[in-house]
Amino acid sequence: RAIAGFHGAHQGGVLGSPLPAATFTAFDLTVTGRSELSALLHTLTDTLRAQTAGGIPAPVGVTTTAGTGILGPDAPGNALESIVGLGSGVFTGRFGLQGAKPRRLRPMDTFANDQLDPAWCGGDLLLTLQSHERDVVLSALREVCRATRGAMQIRWKQDAFTAPPRPSGAPRNLLGFKDGIAGPDTTDDAQLRKLVWSGAGEPAWAAGGSYYVVRRIRMLVEFWDRVSTSEQERIFGRRKDSGAPLTGGTETTAPDYTDDPKGDAIPLDSHIRSANPRTPQSADSQFLRRSYSYDAGVDSVGNLDMGLMFGAFNNDLDRQFVTVQKRLADEPLADYITPVGGGYFFALPGVRNARDFYGSALL
């Protein structure tokens, strides 16, 4: 798919489907004071705008070289998408921004079955970078680190990816199921206003932003790979080969629960039915999912360490993400996954033009 442009009312990376190469990097801010924060967000904007434009990077203060050179003398243009989000720690006394905090923003809640490692949680600023090529992502990350040295430092980082269609449709996650099928229609502005973009009830500066939930969820793949396909399918409620709901049709057919009130075909506690029971009341809790796979090597006892970088965009954390996460508390899938990290962030409104910068309406 085509790469979204850098300028607009919303950050371009939010609506597009996940790209093959991504990196999630959470930073802690080391600046103090509003004007230093403003300078940091200007620098971040300039760096990401330039990285999206491609060409030859301009020199910055800390070095005399014209960039890291990872992409050669003439970097590709329109190859990068970025999403910048702020954590609740920014809206505190150190910047005098207590009154400007998005209403629901707070440190990530701990849910049933979570085994959160503080080293993989939180951060003041989350930068998600994505591209068709990994070197474009790493070039942008290196340029950001180079330009913002002294103003923020990395807290955690996870590389992630999406698979190509196998054989078609949504990419498969590392449990072998197509992931990213159901959700709001990203071409329907009314739905996006209702479910994704901030507006009513939030500070005026936040309009056009979105609460961005990231969860680093480990998959216990050795255990999962011993489970029969039919049992795996009942855990999700969809076919493993085609992605179709167990009530029939194709990947894009909406599951019909009215014909299956007792859950004979799609169990009541299956992942898709618990997450979205498709009742009139549950329509309000839908949100936009943007998830990637990750591979983090091998753990200390020799088990494969891989999983899902789950992402969700919503305009009311509690009505949407938290409600759905609580509905999933006792789902059978919980035996095969362990949430280990992540955070709640607020994806900033878009950078509107060449003179605008991230958070301009906030500062």
Binding mask 46-65 for ligand HEM (x = CB under 6 A): --------------------
Least CB distance to ligand HEM at residue 165 (A): 14
Stretch that binds ligand HEM, among 112-120, 123-131, 269-277, 294-302 (CB under 6 A): 269-277
Q: How far apart are CA 2 and CA 20, in angstroms?
A: 13
The answer to whether residue 215 forms part of the interface with ligand HEM (CB under 6 A) is: yes
The answer to whether residue 160 forms part of the interface with ligand HEM (CB under 6 A) is: no
The answer to whether residue 158 forms part of the interface with ligand HEM (CB under 6 A) is: no
- Complex with ligand HEM: residue 41 or 288, whichever CB lies closer: 288
Least CB distance to ligand HEM at residue 272 (A): 4
The answer to whether residue 162 forms part of the interface with ligand HEM (CB under 6 A) is: no
Tokens of 53: 């434009």
Residue of 129, 163, 157 lying closest to 143 (CA atoms): 129
Least CB distance to ligand HEM at residue 145 (A): 29
Residue of 147, 189, 183, 178 lying closest to 243 (CA atoms): 178
The answer to whether residue 182 forms part of the interface with ligand HEM (CB under 6 A) is: yes
For residue 337, count other CB atoms closer than 10 A to its CB.
20
Least CB distance to ligand HEM at residue 275 (A): 4
Q: Which of 18, 85, 180, 349 is the binder for ligand HEM (CB under 6 A)?
A: 180
The answer to whether residue 340 forms part of the interface with ligand HEM (CB under 6 A) is: no
Q: Which of 125, 272, 309, 351 is the binder for ligand HEM (CB under 6 A)?
A: 272
The answer to whether residue 101 forms part of the interface with ligand HEM (CB under 6 A) is: no
- Complex with ligand HEM: residue 63 or 166, whichever CB lies closer: 166
Binding mask 236-265 for ligand HEM (x = CB under 6 A): x-x---------------------------
Binding mask 294-333 for ligand HEM (x = CB under 6 A): -------------xx-x----------x--xx--x-----
Residues in contact with ligand HEM, total (CB under 6 A)? Answer: 26
Q: How far apart are CA 18 and CA 73, in angstroms?
A: 28
Q: Return residues touching ligand HEM (CB under 6 A).
A: 173, 175, 177-182, 215, 217, 219, 236, 238, 271-272, 275-276, 289, 307-308, 310, 321, 324-325, 328, 337
